[in-house]
Amino acid sequence: MTDLLSTLQLVLKDGGYQCWLMPVERRAGVTFEDDTLMGFGYVFEDPQSLIEQWRAQEAATLNRYASRFRAANEKAWNIYSIFLCATAAEEEQARVIRQIEEDLDRTRKIAACGVGTVDEVVTALLPIMPLQYRPTLEQEDYAARLRRRIADFAPDAAEAALNEDVPPADVIALLGTKS
């Protein structure tokens, strides 16, 4: 559980947030803030604990830090609560956890179970992370890819174009281009 809290803090810092560790009601948590929003996040032992305890944890945190939230002026309207669990939820639990995010009372919420890796935490936090583009390149046989592309417009030239034994003039002839 501590590792997931550290991962949460790391992901938030990488997202440009200032972060502080803080315990509320004997549960370690992390607070975070940037120029436009602020919030807090907690890690739960299992999905059922998250379901049963998130509301009380949110209320305790808001009560404890109410003066700081009020002093945040415009950011006070943009407070996020994050509730995470490394254990995957069963189907019914997952439905209830999705409903937590739809509860806009007091704070905006992000709730997710089955998150443990940095990538899974980043995915869970996408609503508050800066826009990102992560290209994924699959391992591919580039010669086969080029053959397929050539075959799209010159099927007879697809094999010859990458064959070192075929003279370039013959490839050009197969492509239908006159030199």
pTM for the full model? 0.72
How many CB atoms neighbour CB 161 within 10 A?
21
Cβ atoms of 80 and 8 within 8 Å: the answer is no
Note the pLDDT of residue 178: 43
Per-residue pLDDT of the chain (179 residues; tens, 9 = 90+): 459 999 999 999 999 999 999 989 889 999 999 999 999 999 999 999 999 999 999 999 999 988 888 888 887 788 999 999 999 999 999 999 999 999 989 999 999 999 989 999 999 999 999 886 666 767 778 888 888 888 888 888 888 888 888 888 888 888 875 44
Q: How far apart are CA 165 and CA 81, in angstroms?
A: 65
**Helices 47-64 and 91-102, interaxial angle, to 10°?**
20
Nearest to 37 by CA among 2, 8, 79: 79
Distance, C-alpha 125 to centroid of its chain: 5
